Structure formats: C-alpha cells, structure tokens
A = this chain, B = another copy of it.
C-alpha cells in the first residue's frame, strides 16, 4: 500500500482548534475533514483514484461542503468567532 505520510493522519493538525484568523480556521476545517478521511482510507492510490469521481460530481462536492460547514462551526465556536 502506498500509505499517506504520517503528517496526513494527524487528526487536529497543530494540536489546537485556536487560530489567529477566520481564514485560518476555515483552512483547519478543511484539513481536519481531509485527515478524518485519511484515517479511514490511508491508501494514497485509492484516495487519488477517487478524486476524479467526487470532484466532478456536484452532489459529492455539495456533501463535502456540508462537512466543511460542520467542522467550521466547531472551530468558529472555539475561537469565539474571532470577534475580538
């Protein structure tokens, strides 16, 4: 198996939900969602093989965007919405 590097399996990259900006918080949401998937499917070839399927399917992209929204909700709350 062509395994993803260990860094791609870290569940909370950086070890914290706290970020300096909303933009960084959103990027963390995307990374956390991707790393979840890596933990269920660590074979890079399978991951890359599936990319053409989901990335050209509107319904898959909508589903991905839903996961990002959910992860971001948690991260935004953790950061008190970067209000101050």
Contact = CB atoms under 8 A, between A and B. Distances in A.
A interface, over-half SS = helix
Copies in the complex: 6
Contact of A41 (B30, B61, B82): B61
B36 A11 contact: no
Interface of A: 10-12, 15-18, 21-23, 25-27, 30, 32-33, 36-37, 39-41, 46, 50-51, 53-74, 76-78, 81-83
Contact of A74 (B15, B33, B72): B72
A36 B68 contact: yes
Contacts of A41: 55-56, 61
Nearest to A78: B81
